Amino acid sequence: MDVSEEPINIEFIREASEILKKGGLVAFPTETVYGLGGDATDKEASKKIYQAKGRPSDNPLIVHIAKFEQLEQITKDLPETAKKLADAFWPGPLTMVCNKNEVIPYETTGGLDTVAVRMPNNPVALALIEESGCMIAAPSANTSGRPSPTKASHVYEDLSGKIEAILDGGTVDIGLESTIVDLTEDVVTILRPGYINMDMLREVVGEVRMDPGIVYNDKGTTGGAKPKAPGMRYKHYAPKGDLTIVSGEEDRVISTINELTAQAEKDGKKVGIIATSATAGRYGRGQILIIGDREEEQSIAHNLYDILRQFDELDVDIIYSESFATPKMGQAIMNRLLKAAGQKTIEV
Ligand code: AMP
Ligand code: MG
Tell me the per-residue pLDDT of 287-304, one tens digit each, with 9 for 90 and over. Answer: 999 999 999 999 999 999
Q: Packing angle between helix 123-132 and helix 10-21, nearest 10 degrees?
A: 50
Is 174 inside a domain boundary? Answer: yes
Do 191 and 246 belong to one domain?
A: no
Closest CA to 181 of 202, 152, 161, 158: 202
**4: alpha, beta or left? (left if phi > 0; alpha if psi -120 to 50):** alpha
Is the pLDDT confidence value at 221 over 90?
no
Do 203 and 318 belong to one domain?
A: no
Domain's final residue, options 233, 260, 279? 233
Do 224 and 279 belong to one domain?
A: no
Confidence of residue 223 (pLDDT cuts 50, 70, 90): confident
pTM confidence score: 0.94
Do 139 and 261 belong to one domain?
A: no
Residue type, 63: V
**134: alpha, beta or left? (left if phi > 0; alpha if psi -120 to 50):** beta
- When divided into structural domains, the chain yields a total of 2
Distance 125 CA to ligand 2 centre (A): 17
Instruction: Flag whether 237 is marked binding.
Output: yes
Ligand 1 near 211 CB (within 6 A):
no
Q: What percent of the chain has pLDDT over 70?
A: 100
Do 125 and 39 belong to one domain?
A: yes
Do 196 and 284 belong to one domain?
A: no
Is 304 inside a domain boundary? Answer: yes
Edge-first strand order for the sheet with 271-276 is 287-292, 271-276, 318-322, 242-247, 345-347
Domain's final residue, options 188, 210, 233? 233
Confidence of residue 235 (pLDDT cuts 50, 70, 90): low
Identify the burial level of 212 via C-beta atoms within 10 angstroms of its C-beta, where 0-12 means exposed, 13-18 middle and 19 or more buried: middle
Is 4 inside a domain boundary? Answer: no
Q: Rounded to a whole number, what is the largest CA-CA distance in the chain?
A: 62
Question: What range defines the domain where residue 140 resides?
Answer: 10-233
Instruction: Flag whether 59 is marked binding.
Output: yes
Is the pLDDT confidence value at 176 over 70?
yes
Quote the CA–CA distance of 332 and 147 in Å, as a whole number: 14
Atom of ligand 1 nearest to the CA of 192: 10
From the CA of 194, which ligand is nearest? 1
Do 265 and 226 belong to one domain?
A: no
Instruction: Flag whether 336 is marked binding.
Output: no
Domain containing residue 300: CATH number: 3.40.50.11030
Identify the burial level of 333 via C-beta atoms within 10 angstroms of its C-beta, where 0-12 means exposed, 13-18 middle and 19 or more buried: buried
pLDDT at position 231, please? 87
Do 161 and 258 belong to one domain?
A: no
Tell me: the pLDDT tens digits for 62-77? 999 999 999 999 999 9
Question: What does DSSP assign to residue 164?
Answer: S
